[in-house]
């Protein structure tokens, strides 16, 4: 884990910053298998936790999301 004062670059979003707090960088892992994937920034960690939303956003941007009107 990068230490406070060390520089870090998130492999997902490429954000670069100097670590100032202990909760800025997260050890990403698969919750089902426990397999560790590596360190990522807090923003990407929160986004990965919303995988179903990300999948729908990708479909939306591709124009393939099926939308049903409520009424």
Sign of CA dihedral 43, 44, 47, 49: negative
Are residues 27 and 36 in contact, defined by beta-carbon separation less than 8 angstroms? yes
Specify if 70 maps to a domain: no
Residues 6+ apart with CB under 8 A from 45: 26, 28
Mean pLDDT (the chain, rounded)? 86
Are residues 37 and 30 in contact, defined by beta-carbon separation less than 8 angstroms? yes
> How far apart, in whole angstroms, are the C-alpha atoms of residue 24 and residue 70?
40
pLDDT at 71 exceeding the cut of 70: no
pTM assigned to the model: 0.69
pLDDT for residue 67: 76
Specify if 32 maps to a domain: yes
pLDDT at 30 exceeding the cut of 80: yes
Intra-chain end-to-end CA distance of the chain, in Å: 51
**Tell me, what CATH number does 58's domain have?**
3.40.1800.10
Specify if 54 maps to a domain: yes
Which range marks the domain in which residue 18 is found? 7-62
How many domains in the chain? 1
Specify if 1 maps to a domain: no
């Amino acid at each position: 884990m990068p230490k406070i004062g060390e520089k870090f670059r998130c492999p997902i979003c490429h954000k670069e910053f100097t670590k100032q707090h202990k909760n800025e960088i997260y050890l990403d892992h698969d919750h089902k298998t426990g397999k560790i994937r590596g360190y990522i920034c807090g923003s990407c960690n929160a986004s990965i936790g919303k995988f179903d939303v990300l999948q729908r956003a990708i479909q939306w941007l591709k124009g393939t999301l099926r939308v049903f009107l409520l009424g």
